[in-house]
Structure 1
Amino acid sequence: MSQLSVDTGHHVITGIKAHHADGKDSQCLPDICNRLEKRLHKQGLLWHNCIADTGYSSGENYAYLEEKGLRSYIPPHGTYKGGPDGFEYHKENDCYTCPQGKTIPFKKVFFEKKNNTKKKEYRALKHVCVDCPIRSQCLGKSAQEKKFTVTFYREEYERNNARVNSPRGSYMKGKRQSTVEPVFGTLTQFLGLRKINTLGIKQANKVMHLSAIAYNLKKYLKFTQKRVKSGAGMLALLFLIKNSVYKLEKLFLRSLKIANYKAI
């Protein structure tokens, strides 16, 4: 997998690296951020916002970016839920209230075996659900008490989602679609990065770095050409000003001669 970062100002590739394809995009984000932060700070550049697509979404990443002081604009997975439908969360007591007004308290923190993700378990006591009028709908046939799990990083998710769903979040989404995605298209369609024909992760890194260098050189050449054009325009303007001043000076001297001739 090719993981790259791009600045939103000039679409310049600021970081690129080959990763093994057996992992997820979200697992690569901390490595991308660590390398990019060092490079930007070395150049005296500040970094405030991290924009990425849903593939980089995870509670761990949201918490990691907050620790770094970065504002994340990463849409969550469609599977994310802040709790069961109809249940209200109470932050001060870390518990949920069901539609019937019963309290479902927090019980423990654990790591889910499937994805090794950190989660919190909430479970009601057995007697709480005994006389509930919607017991069969809520618990099913075999369960005796209400039990469910929620991501450990619920608050980080909620803060990120608030940013994503804000007007600024819509602006950031447009920025991502107009910067990173076109760069990927250019690399794959015009610079031959659709496949890696080398063996090993080190050789794949060389190919990706060479492609990024070629891309950035093209961006740099276009940028310098614009600077040259604007410089030529400035020279023309200076020449025009100088010529105009020269003509005004001649007219002024001529008027002085005429005035002196009349006085004589």
Structure 2
Amino acid sequence: MADDGYGSEYNYTLILDKFEKKTLITYSMYLKEKQHKYKNNPLITANWEYREIDDYYICPNKKELHFQSYRKKRDGYGIQRDFKLYACEACVGCPLRSQCMKQSTKLNTNKRLYKNLTWAYFKAFTNQQLSDPKTKHIYQKRKIDVESTFGNLKANLGFQRLSVRTKSKVECELGIALMAVNIRKLAKISARFRSLIRKKPSNSKKMNFNGFFLKELKGYVPAPLTVHSYKDKVVRVDKVLLRPLIIKR
């Protein structure tokens, strides 16, 4: 599960085919494609009529774009992607030419359309996954559970980037940052608990901090109980409070 920045053909292929896992990752155009303005724009090629039997598209000016050849392209990350090339044979003099094609295109050039069937499949799969109420609810919770913590780290605590490399060191530094988040939450819980006791002293007999804390535990950032090596010491990250324990060798 991740945001649309990770929604690429390579990532979908890796997760679904190699790791054989389900994915809940949107792509960059996911929200825009849901808009009424996008769906009803006839100049957007995704809205063009497609005749599957004869394998051609029909543009808004009722011209046909027939299949020409298979093409291969590399994206910005050097990943090779497969496309089907469709081309129109009569774009000269079309009244929609200025809107359909780039202004820099030569006057005698016809419209070309590249279609990536693999990418189209992953987009359809993503839309199907997020149309299910259960998976949609899971993805919506991510925005609350994950993004709020990252936003707090970056905006309020100034944790903009990691200062170390390698997985073990990154886990240690991130664990310390999350520990700071949890300590702030613990301080707020403690202050709220003392406030309840001051307002009604009789609560001190009915309530104890441990029980009060356990009710609020759902707001803490979880972390696995792991042991990491950092320089000449071993740092263990506690599961509940992310308390680093320094253990001498």
* Structure-2-length-normalised TM-score: 0.50
Greater length-normalized contact order (CA 8 Å, ≥ 6 residues apart):
1
Larger radius of gyration: 1
Q: Which has the higher helix share?
A: 1
* Structure-1-length-normalised TM-score: 0.47
